[in-house]
Structure 1
Amino acid sequence: MTSSLVTDYDHGISAVDAQYHRPGRAAIHLIVENGMVALVDTGTAFSIPGVVQALKEKNLALENVVYILLTHIHLDHAGGAGECMRCFPNAKLVVHPRGARHMVDPARLIAGVIAVYGEAEFKQIYGEILPIDANRIIEAPDQTRIDLNGRTLLLLDTPGHARHHYCIYDERSHSFFTGDTFGVSYREFDVDGMEFVFPTTTPVQFDPIAAHESIDRIMSYNPHYAYLTHYSRIGNLPHHAIAMHSLIDAHVAIAKSANEKSIDRHKILKAALEKLLLQQLIQHGCKLSQQAIRDLLRSDIKLNAQGLESWLDQPVSRLKQL
């Protein structure tokens, strides 16, 4: 089944558009094994009716959803977790140990996002963030194995974007569900089957050393595909791993250069990141107009600039590691 919201792949994997800001920006992935279902990431509370509809179209009962796997707890990935637990009575929530308490009591998560967006925009984008019963939460440290009806899902600690991030290796498809660790890749930028991938440094825990190590860890499994939350399946992973390493270093160089200037660091960062990604996309062969590219990247550039500023404001001892 391929519809406006659902794209089916092989090995029982589907992407459901989370309808986050715009079509094609965030995906919720279904993994189906002999009728049992795991969801990878949840989008927001407003995303869950689309998941319910996709399950109905696949003749899968809501009771057959047994795991909700959060790659990390940023609200574009985890904001709908509470609504999922309400809709799917047999589901367990699987989350990094650093993130579990925030799912039980999401007050700090909510406050942090409201501080960025304001309360009115927060409610419009994310809706209600429901707390989750601790008895329905599985904390997943590094190397946790989840058995989905005989199908093994291996969870690997992969910081860099966030310290509460894991990626999921699906042994059946020899692929990873990478959340934000392997970057962002919008399908609008595909050229003749080749994707364009770039890092996401948001919002407050960017760690370039860890990001490099996590990419190498993913690639050590020689995966066939990566399923990104933003947006869904990409191949050509050896090529993209090299590009990600290079672009992480470029982001760091831009941040350090901006930090040396005394005025309007955020504006300098945004301008430099836009220039970098425009140049890269032109070299990639993207045929969209520069204005169309800017429109697609505007939010990511703003958030990446914020993340780099947060990284620059960390203790000097950490920055000197690079």
Structure 2
Amino acid sequence: MGKPVDLGYDISLIDVFDLKTPERTGTYVLHEKELTIIETSASPSIPYLLAGLEALGINPADIQYIIVTHIHLDHAGGAGLLLEKCPNARVIVHPKGKRHLADPSKLIQGAKVVYGEKFAELFDPIVPIPEDRLVTMEDGDTLTLSDERTLTFFDTPGHANHHFSIYDSKSNGIFTGDTIGVYYPQLLAYGVELYLPSTSPSQFNPEAMLHSAKRLEEQSPSRIYFGHFGMSEHPAAVFQQLREWLPKMVEVGERVITEQPLLSFEDKTKTVADGFMKLVQPYLDARGVPREASVYDLLRLDLIVCAMGMVDYFQKQEEK
């Protein structure tokens, strides 16, 4: 397990090893009077999170707020389990996510459809959160953690309808969850910065994603704090890559749905995922990334889930 990373501005990043994989999911710690963490990942990540807090000299009883950008299980699945160790904390969630943290049965059902027999290994246990410990934030609401730090919440659908992003006044940064994509820091070893849209099921909407990105870009942030994984100090590149990759990915999905309508959902998903890889692989080839690089394991997994969301989106469009 790596040590927590000091990102400056009284922010630490703990690698919480979703899928037992380094640099996959992270928890951000805001060292303020109102001690706050952002993102928990899934329940199997909680031991890593607690070890990271211990390494920082933090007693979980001192945590006041646990913020989840959205309720997908790789971001919020461990919140209930963590809360058992944090007797004084409340969980802050998007208004559309509150009821699902109080009663996660639909979350569990949805995840089982996507992950099948791997569900238990990836996500158990999912612990319900008492309603009196859940707090919601509407678009534009603020939370003051100290004289120097106020968080502002922005409703940012596109990846999910229950997603907010959080502007941090102290660092002029934004915690974006999955709204504007996934960052692959594994590629920095090859001098490559890659940011890909996250189009996972079941509420992906490309127009909403671009609108949310525009709102965040208008805040002129200096930093982007990703759910997957880590911090970028090149926000212009982040927004530009989203605008470049998203239409190409949508085009792949639309082409498969239009040209091969009789394929099963599973076969459509595989075909779309292969199409996504045919976009990304030449990009990495041209930048000297070897095809045996370990990042490809992550990319294959992510692109399959992204393909599921893309196929789901177009099938819903056809039903309208």
Q: 1:110: how far off?
A: 0.6
Deviations 1:138-167 (A, max 9, x none): 111101111213320111001110000000
For the residue of structure 2 that corresponds to 1:29, the secondary structure is strand
CA distance in structure 1 between the aligned counterparts of 2:306 and 2:38, rounded to whole angstroms: 23
For the residue of structure 1 that corresponds to 2:228, the secondary structure is coil
Correspondence 1:214-233 to 2 at 5 A: 214-233=212-231
Match in the other structure for 1:53 = 51
Q: 1:60: how far off?
A: 2.1
Q: 1:242: how far off?
A: 1.2
Match in the other structure for 1:278 = 281
Match in the other structure for 1:25 = 24
CA distance in structure 1 between the aligned counterparts of 2:3 and 2:308, rounded to whole angstroms: 30
Q: 1:192: how far off?
A: 6.8
Question: What residue identity is the alignment partner of 2:144?
Answer: D
Correspondence 1:10-159 to 2 at 5 A: 10-21=8-19, 22-34=21-33, 36-118=34-116, 120-150=117-147, 151-159=149-157
For the residue of structure 1 that corresponds to 2:121, the secondary structure is helix
Structure 1 unaligned residues grouped into runs of 5+ = none
Q: 1:32: how far off?
A: 1.1
Match in the other structure for 2:313 = 311
Give the root-mean-square deviation of aligned CA atoms: 1.7
Q: 1:14: how far off?
A: 1.3
Higher mean C-alpha deviation, range 10-19 or range 274-283: 274-283
Higher mean C-alpha deviation, range 71-80 or range 4-13: 4-13
When the two structures are aligned, how many residues end up with a matched partner? 313
Match in the other structure for 1:199 = 197
CA distance in structure 2 between the aligned counterparts of 1:71 and 1:165, rounded to whole angstroms: 6
Q: 1:43: how far off?
A: 0.7
Question: What residue identity is the alignment partner of 1:29?
Answer: Y
Higher mean C-alpha deviation, range 18-27 or range 292-301: 292-301
CA distance in structure 1 between the aligned counterparts of 2:48 and 2:292, rounded to whole angstroms: 32
CA distance in structure 2 between the aligned counterparts of 1:238 and 1:191, rounded to whole angstroms: 21
Match in the other structure for 1:265 = 268
Identity %: 32
Is the alpha carbon distance of 1:268 and 1:96 closer, same or farther for their aligned partners in structure 2, counting shifts above 3 Å?
Answer: same
Higher mean C-alpha deviation, range 191-200 or range 153-162: 191-200
CA distance in structure 1 between the aligned counterparts of 2:91 and 2:182, rounded to whole angstroms: 24
CA distance in structure 2 between the aligned counterparts of 1:5 and 1:195, rounded to whole angstroms: 23
Structure 2 unaligned residues grouped into runs of 5+ = none
Deviations 1:252-305 (A, max 9, x none): 11111111222332232011100101122234x242325645323111011011
CA distance in structure 2 between the aligned counterparts of 1:248 and 1:267, rounded to whole angstroms: 18
- Structure 2 counterpart of 1:240, from 225, 238, 241: 238
Q: 1:194: how far off?
A: 5.2
Q: 1:193: how far off?
A: 5.9
CA distance in structure 1 between the aligned counterparts of 2:3 and 2:122, rounded to whole angstroms: 18
- Structure 1 counterpart of 2:184, from 149, 172, 186: 186
Q: 1:5: how far off?
A: 4.4
Question: What residue identity is the alignment partner of 2:204?
Answer: F
Question: What residue identity is the alignment partner of 2:269?
Answer: H
Deviations 1:46-92 (A, max 9, x none): 22222222222222222221111110000000010101211111111
- For the 8 Å contact 1:72–1:78, the answer to whether it is kept is yes
Higher mean C-alpha deviation, range 161-170 or range 19-28: 19-28
For the residue of structure 2 that corresponds to 1:230, the secondary structure is coil
For the residue of structure 1 that corresponds to 2:31, the secondary structure is strand
Q: 1:308: how far off?
A: 0.3
TM-score for the superposition, normalised by structure 1: 0.92
CA distance in structure 1 between the aligned counterparts of 2:126 and 2:295, rounded to whole angstroms: 32
Is the alpha carbon distance of 1:304 and 1:63 closer, same or farther for their aligned partners in structure 2, counting shifts above 3 Å?
Answer: same
Question: What residue identity is the alignment partner of 1:207?
Answer: N
CA distance in structure 2 between the aligned counterparts of 1:196 and 1:25, rounded to whole angstroms: 14
CA distance in structure 1 between the aligned counterparts of 2:271 and 2:77, rounded to whole angstroms: 31
For the residue of structure 1 that corresponds to 2:83, the secondary structure is helix
